[in-house]
Structure 1
Amino acid sequence: MANKTSSIVNIEWKPDKTSNIPIFKQIVSYISNKISKGDWLIGNKLPPQRALAKMFDVNRSTIVAALEELTSLGILEGKSGQGTTIINNTWSLLMSASPPNWQRYIDFSIHKANSPTIQTINKLEFVDGITRLSTGEISPELFPKEMMKKVLQRVPERAYSLNYLEPLGLFELRKILSQHLTKYGIYIPPTCILIVSGSLQALQLISLCMLQPGSTIFTEIPSYLKSLNVFQSAGMKLSGIPMDSSGIMPWILNKKDNLEETSLLYTIPTFQNPTGRLMTETRRQELLDWCKTNRLPIIEDDAYRELWIDEEPPLPLKAYDKNGMVLYMGSISKSLAPGLRLGWLAGPESIVERLGDVKMQTDYGASSLSQWALTEWMESGLYEQHLLILRKHLKERRDLVLHTLETYFKEIATWNTPAGGYYIWLRLNKNISTDRLFEIALSEKLLINPGSIYDFSNNQHIRISYSYASPDELVKGLIKLSELIGEMYQYY
């Protein structure tokens, strides 16, 4: 005969379906009270879910919800084939304590939340039926599937393991990157290259171990960096510097009093995000000379360099750097596949070693498989073949978008003609709310990036990308967008 503590409990009660209290909450309260008063003991079993649903005269899903809550509180335990058992009669301590205020934890966390607009963009980029007119990714149509298949077939032959790698990353990859960078006038050994999980991680590492709270990060106006909180989350300030047609104008800083020893400058000189602007060779030299004179280190983000369309861009700032002033970031997120999550940072060996040490504390290294795959991509020559094909497609897409803009936007906006990269920086002729346009476009299943997320003040721009949506989607989406803008113009 079973002992008392293993017996099935008796139930002679039903929830009040006219009450404002949810039924499953009433059931939770009823079971909790039975346990607290000692009517039901540790070891007692509850009837099966179907039986409970019949006893309480409710749907089985309601029973499941109630039992899940009681289980999460540590009062019940359910085991497959053994039913649900009472395991704790101290529920009153659990129930009487206020639940943790998770929002307070979130509010006081180190990382700041994205703006509501950016959060919306990040979510809707994965919703079917949305035309993505601003997405800064390579289109699935342009992904080199057959080449990737060849690469992945060869990786097992050379990847002797997929264990953790040394702090700076796979040596074979750093070696081929060292050779690759010589094409751009950068001569740096593998010991001065750190493999990171994308350029964003490089920025995070810099903010963690090289800068003090209160430091100032100077960048172009507008800037991709403004859409991130990577430095602000570490207690640093962003300060914008205007651009002209040649690029950023560093001498504007002479009029500022906040140039500090802990400041640095972040720039995308080649096909800048979001404007697509290309810094001239003369301006690059002027920028480097000015920063050298004023002891202002530079972070050069060169993610778009290999996506030139009309002609090869000037050499990177790092190519002219003779004093270790520049930390150089590269990535294959824009040129090959963001999902590989690989980038690199090149700089003085002491800095790279320090960043590598902190990286080991944060994630213990980027994906070993991805690093072996990228090594094969570059050593095999397939990467260069892919770039030739990709540039051709990007030119076709850019020219298609420019033609569409010329046809449908001539009276409502102006724009630049980028020589490479992904983006066209569209400026509206009238002072309408681009945030309101963002909302109206969403209602028509169009996703755009308003210029406000990249600027330090409101502006009248939209970032248009020709890299992601299909050519047909680009044309149809832009025509619809022109109609929405025209309708808004009627009220201004």
Structure 2
Amino acid sequence: MSKVVIIMWKPDRSSTQTLYHQIADEIERRISYGEYPPGSLLPSERKLAEQLGVNRSTVILAYEELRALGIIESRTGSGTRVCKNKWEATPKHTPNWHRYVEGGQFLPNLFYLRRIREALQKDGMIDFASGELSAQLSPGQEISTLMKENPFTEYLGYDNPQGFTPLREELVSYLSRYRQIKTTDSSILITSGSQQSLYLITQCLLAPGDAVAIEDPSYCYSLPMFQSAGLRLFRLPVSPEGIDPEDIRSLYKKNRIKMIFLNPTFQNPTGICLNPARRTQLLNVASELGLPIVEDDPFSLTSYDGDPPAPLKSHDQLGSVLYIGSFSKIAASGLRVGWMVAPHSVVERLADARQQMDFGLSVVPQKIAAQFLHSNFFLPHLEQLRMRLLYRRDLLVEALQTELPDLVTFTLPQGGLHLWCKIVPEINDNQLFEEALRRGVVVAPGSVYGSDSGYIRFTFARPKEAEITLGVAKFASALRAVLS
């Protein structure tokens, strides 16, 4: 019986290279050095994961990488071994998929986002990082009822490239009632969410080398799609009143920016609202310069008092604002239904591009979304959502004030899912992030959003209510460990 090789090595968690690439590269290096000769038996996925202190899924990815290169092979009953035929005189080669993957133009997610995704695969982690609603906040029962009462009988073929017509018609009423936006169904494009809307805009309305303005800090900074599109990003600092519109004028003069990307209501990650005077000034500056504004508005209906600021689009008389919305933050991210309100020529252009990508969205979730908007469930759900989010926000704030009264500062948001915190002492983001992970807490460092070191975004909508106080206590323990 073959002896299993022992891998005395640990991956570097501070490296920008993914863990599974590090593992694959290390095993390939040792094989090429002759440490693991052809036919050598490698540890099982579970055993190697234990040895290296990583998730089993990470080892699975590493072994898949090596199998694709033809370096190892796995057989039922025989385990995973170093290939013998790889080292023969006339071997058969598999394409080096690692080089192909590294060579693509579409950039991978940021290091922290990949680490967050990897960490959340473990059981028992308290999730303050995922920017979505928990199951307790989503209208699962209501949607289930609607599906039973309205069984799907329509033809399941390709639909209108702009989206399911009944949903677009329902959105006309929704936008008028809840966001004071007057539009028609022909000026609405249904997407799979805000991120697809942004992707279509960057790919179809802009060109490599174009300069755009984004908030600082900003969710947009966490989206490599902007860099993949070859765009030059220029920042608009966010103060307690929001961005200063005069900064746009300065950026335009210096860098000839072509578009402005904003999340002006309960901004992600800060939770700040652009004040009314600056909203008016912003529209005036944009119209003077002929600049389009992309208004991303996922959080406004989470306003805890039920009275969110009017969107920029509601005051847009020149068609300068592309307005993006989504069900992800007010209902369920799994529906994958979002929308964009834009001039019809823009909608036609983006609908054509999206049809080339996927022939349009599934009509099933679009019908569910239309039914939910039209139903008597929607308004009570919004009211319940606001109440539960406010309760969760207060739980988080109380826990932070109890555990870290002198070490963390923040501004209380009046809507949204996030609390943006400043760590008072100077801190190393990566050390704090990893120390929190070791204690079972996942947070989003501020550098994900382009901020300086020492900021943390807590999402209070994702963990269970019973986990919030415990999660803050564990985070506080991690912070004190790093500071000491």
TM-score, normalised to structure 2, is: 0.81
- 2:469 pairs with 471, 475, 487, which one? 475
- 1:324 pairs with 319, 328, 334, which one? 319
Instruction: Report if aligned partners of 1:307, 1:421 keep a CA contact under 8 Å in 2.
Output: yes
- 1:124 pairs with 119, 123, 126, which one? 119
Instruction: Report if aligned partners of 2:300, 2:309 keep a CA contact under 8 Å in 1.
Output: no
- 1:165 pairs with 147, 150, 159, which one? 159
1:16, distance to aligned residue in structure 2 (A):
11
1:434, distance to aligned residue in structure 2 (A):
1.8
Q: Which amino acid aligns with 1:229?
A: P
- CA distance in structure 2 between the aligned counterparts of 1:17 and 1:449, rounded to whole angstroms: 39
- 2:417 pairs with 418, 422, 428, which one? 422
Q: Which amino acid aligns with 1:460?
A: G
**Could you list the per-position Cα deviations for residues 270-304 of structure 1 after superposition, in whole angstroms to 9, with x for gaps in the alignment?**
11101111111211111111111122211000011
CA change 1:21–1:407 in 2 (3 A) is same
Instruction: Report if aligned partners of 2:435, 2:482 keep a CA contact under 8 Å in 1.
Output: no
State the partner residue of 2:259.
264
- CA distance in structure 1 between the aligned counterparts of 2:336 and 2:84, rounded to whole angstroms: 38
- CA distance in structure 2 between the aligned counterparts of 1:290 and 1:267, rounded to whole angstroms: 14
Relative to structure 2, which stretch is displaced further, 146-155 or 210-219?
146-155
State the partner residue of 1:275.
270
- 1:314 pairs with 309, 327, 339, which one? 309
- CA distance in structure 2 between the aligned counterparts of 1:275 and 1:209, rounded to whole angstroms: 29
Aligned partner of residue 330 in structure 1, secondary structure: strand
1:145, distance to aligned residue in structure 2 (A):
2.7
State the partner residue of 2:39.
23
1:240, distance to aligned residue in structure 2 (A):
1.1
State the partner residue of 1:3.
none
CA change 1:399–1:109 in 2 (3 A) is same
CA change 1:101–1:312 in 2 (3 A) is same
Listed as ranges, the matches of 1:192-211 within 5 Å are: 192-211=187-206
User: Are 1:255 and 2:271 matched, yes or no?
Assistant: no
Instruction: Report if aligned partners of 2:427, 2:453 keep a CA contact under 8 Å in 1.
Output: no
1:339, distance to aligned residue in structure 2 (A):
0.6
Listed as ranges, the matches of 1:45-444 within 5 Å are: 61=76, 95=91, 97=93, 99-156=94-151, 159-183=153-177, 184-256=179-251, 257-260=253-256, 263-444=258-439
**Could you list the per-position Cα deviations for residues 188-216 of structure 1 after superposition, in whole angstroms to 9, with x for gaps in the alignment?**
10000000011111111111211010112
Q: Which amino acid aligns with 1:112?
A: L
- CA distance in structure 1 between the aligned counterparts of 2:483 and 2:36, rounded to whole angstroms: 49
Instruction: Report if aligned partners of 2:216, 2:236 keep a CA contact under 8 Å in 1.
Output: yes
**Could you list the per-position Cα deviations for residues 44-70 of structure 1 after superposition, in whole angstroms to 9, with x for gaps in the alignment?**
xxxxxxxxxxxxxxx973658689999
- CA distance in structure 1 between the aligned counterparts of 2:391 and 2:417, rounded to whole angstroms: 12
Aligned partner of residue 169 in structure 2, secondary structure: helix
Instruction: Report if aligned partners of 1:16, 1:23 keep a CA contact under 8 Å in 2.
Output: no
CA change 1:219–1:65 in 2 (3 A) is same
**Could you list the per-position Cα deviations for residues 350-378 of structure 1 after superposition, in whole angstroms to 9, with x for gaps in the alignment?**
00011000000001111211001001101
- CA distance in structure 2 between the aligned counterparts of 1:60 and 1:122, rounded to whole angstroms: 30
CA change 1:478–1:215 in 2 (3 A) is same
- CA distance in structure 2 between the aligned counterparts of 1:296 and 1:379, rounded to whole angstroms: 35
TM-score, normalised to structure 1, is: 0.80
1:407, distance to aligned residue in structure 2 (A):
1.8
Aligned partner of residue 329 in structure 1, secondary structure: strand
Aligned CA-pair RMSD: 2.6
- CA distance in structure 2 between the aligned counterparts of 1:404 and 1:15, rounded to whole angstroms: 54
Instruction: Report if aligned partners of 2:396, 2:460 keep a CA contact under 8 Å in 1.
Output: yes
- CA distance in structure 2 between the aligned counterparts of 1:483 and 1:16, rounded to whole angstroms: 42
Q: Which amino acid aligns with 1:482?
A: A
Q: How many pairs are equivalent?
A: 421
State the partner residue of 1:35.
none
Q: Which amino acid aligns with 1:467?
A: A
Aligned partner of residue 345 in structure 2, secondary structure: helix
Relative to structure 2, which stretch is displaced further, 332-341 or 114-123?
114-123
1:431, distance to aligned residue in structure 2 (A):
1.1
Instruction: Report if aligned partners of 2:392, 2:461 keep a CA contact under 8 Å in 1.
Output: yes
Aligned partner of residue 294 in structure 2, secondary structure: strand
**Could you list the per-position Cα deviations for residues 388-437 of structure 1 after superposition, in whole angstroms to 9, with x for gaps in the alignment?**
11111111111111122222222111111000000111101111112210
- CA distance in structure 1 between the aligned counterparts of 2:477 and 2:384, rounded to whole angstroms: 34
Bigger CA radius of gyration: 1
Relative to structure 2, which stretch is displaced further, 159-168 or 410-419?
159-168
CA change 1:380–1:24 in 2 (3 A) is same
1:104, distance to aligned residue in structure 2 (A):
2.4
Instruction: Report if aligned partners of 1:335, 1:387 keep a CA contact under 8 Å in 2.
Output: yes
State the partner residue of 2:30.
none
Instruction: Report if aligned partners of 2:39, 2:84 keep a CA contact under 8 Å in 1.
Output: no
CA change 1:15–1:316 in 2 (3 A) is closer
- CA distance in structure 2 between the aligned counterparts of 1:293 and 1:267, rounded to whole angstroms: 18
**Could you list the per-position Cα deviations for residues 19-49 of structure 1 after superposition, in whole angstroms to 9, with x for gaps in the alignment?**
9424279xxxxxxxxxxxxxxxxxxxxxxxx
- CA distance in structure 2 between the aligned counterparts of 1:413 and 1:230, rounded to whole angstroms: 32
Instruction: Report if aligned partners of 2:298, 2:325 keep a CA contact under 8 Å in 1.
Output: yes
Indicate the percent of aligned positions where both proteins have the same amino acid. Answer: 33
- CA distance in structure 1 between the aligned counterparts of 2:120 and 2:78, rounded to whole angstroms: 36
Instruction: Report if aligned partners of 1:155, 1:372 keep a CA contact under 8 Å in 2.
Output: no
Q: Which amino acid aligns with 1:474?
A: I
**Structure 1 unmatched ranges of 5 or more:** 1-13, 26-58, 74-90
Instruction: Report if aligned partners of 1:167, 1:360 keep a CA contact under 8 Å in 2.
Output: yes
- CA distance in structure 2 between the aligned counterparts of 1:60 and 1:189, rounded to whole angstroms: 59
Instruction: Report if aligned partners of 1:195, 1:345 keep a CA contact under 8 Å in 2.
Output: yes
**Structure 2 unmatched ranges of 5 or more:** 6-34, 42-73
- CA distance in structure 1 between the aligned counterparts of 2:156 and 2:75, rounded to whole angstroms: 46
CA change 1:188–1:443 in 2 (3 A) is same
**Could you list the per-position Cα deviations for residues 438-491 of structure 1 after superposition, in whole angstroms to 9, with x for gaps in the alignment?**
011111111010001101x5332100111011122110110221232233333x
Aligned partner of residue 239 in structure 1, secondary structure: strand
- CA distance in structure 2 between the aligned counterparts of 1:435 and 1:65, rounded to whole angstroms: 34
CA change 1:431–1:368 in 2 (3 A) is same
